[in-house]
Amino acid sequence: MSARRIPLLALALALMAAGSAQADTPLGRLFFTPAERSAMDRHEVPSAQIPPAQVNGIVRRNDGRATVWVNGEARQDIPASNHQARVIDPRGVPVWRKVGEPLDDAPPAMHIKRHR
């Protein structure tokens, strides 16, 4: 390699490294609407980013306490009966959902029947 090309190669490598470092920084709030930016200022999560609550399962103990699986996460602070639990929908309204009940826009879930 000639001595003239070494500085050009070093310059090209330095520019590539600087470009990749700036690519890691987020663009920030530039591409959000004014309403979304004000929600960010108030540390609110937009409703479009809140997944709809789906009850995956309920286990009730002998002492009456229940563990409810909502969106795959075990929770013990959710009111539940034997077949449904009270969850919050994306609009912020509490609703009772049955285990495995399909969401409004989701394909039907597999239902498991309990045999006695």
DSSP for 7-72?
A: HHHHHHHHHHHHHHHHHTS--TTTTS-HHHHHHHHTTPPPGGGSPPP-EEEEEE-TTS-EEEEETT
For the record, the structure tokens of 84 come out as: 């449904």
Query: What is the model's pLDDT at position 93?
Result: 82
Backbone angles phi, psi at 43, to 5 degrees: 60, 40
| Per-residue model confidence as pLDDT tens digits over 22-66 | 555 556 666 677 777 777 777 665 555 666 788 899 998 888 889
Query: What is the model's pLDDT at position 74?
Result: 92
Query: What is the model's pLDDT at position 67?
Result: 92
User: Which comes out higher in pLDDT, residue 34 or 77?
Assistant: 77
Query: What is the model's pLDDT at position 103?
Result: 65
